[in-house]
Amino acid sequence: VLKNTEAYVDKSRRVINLSIRQLNTQETQILENGLNYAITPKRIPVPKIIASIEPGIYHLSEESKATIRASVVNTLKNTKALSTTNISKQQSHALRNLKKDKDITIVPADKGRAIVVMNTDDYDRKISDLLLDKKTYLRITDRRRNHTSKVEQDLNKLLRDMKSERLHNDNNLPQINEKLYDHLHSSSASPRQRFMVYLRSISQTYRFVRLPALFHFLRTIFQNT
């Protein structure tokens, strides 16, 4: 991405701006923290923690699951959100502005720990050029070998089923039953698994129904947080 490109590099060489956007001091400083920098949350994200734990312990024994769940419950019960944040108000505002700007794309550099800010059009063009490289990628024209349409149909059906299946509770949330949950978790490298990543990202909107032990786990957490 960076080869044979003239660009402004900040003094710390952590942020490389190839875009037409002029980064101000606060924007540069927040990017210098790195893409993996964890910003202090205003409140403990209990639903996200719950959603991220269950898939991670899915294949463990029931005894191991129970131990981990108990540990998480104990941790959440004794944890309070920090009253201070690790970024300034100006940096928080700068971060929101960067997120809103669809004309730029922020990516890690091919090498090193630098962050690259690119025009989105340039980024999309480079991706297209890579995909058009016939030495690296080959377009699948045989429908028997291309399962994309079938996968799209399957996911669309899952979405329709989830939309139509409502729980009779106060929140009227869609239910993901145990059979569907297992089906979505059938492979760690399948489109269904990527779909589960998306579902976990909006887990506050969906209710994952699995085992009685999980019901107790969720109930205990919410009662004590």
pLDDT digits (tens, 9 = 90+) for 145-176: 777 777 778 777 877 776 676 544 445 555 55
Angle subtended by helix axes 46-56 and 62-77, to nearest 10: 160
Between these two residues, 132 and 139, which has the higher pLDDT value?
A: 132
Give the SS3 label for residue 15: strand
Say how many residues make up the chain.
Answer: 225
| pLDDT tens digit sequence for 94-135 | 999 999 999 999 999 988 889 999 999 999 999 999 888 888
- Please list the residues that pair with 116 across neighbouring strands: 16, 107
pLDDT digits (tens, 9 = 90+) for 52-96: 787 788 788 888 988 988 888 788 878 887 778 889 999 999 999
The answer to whether 40 touches 187, Cβ cutoff 8 Å, is no
Beta pairing partners, 104: 119
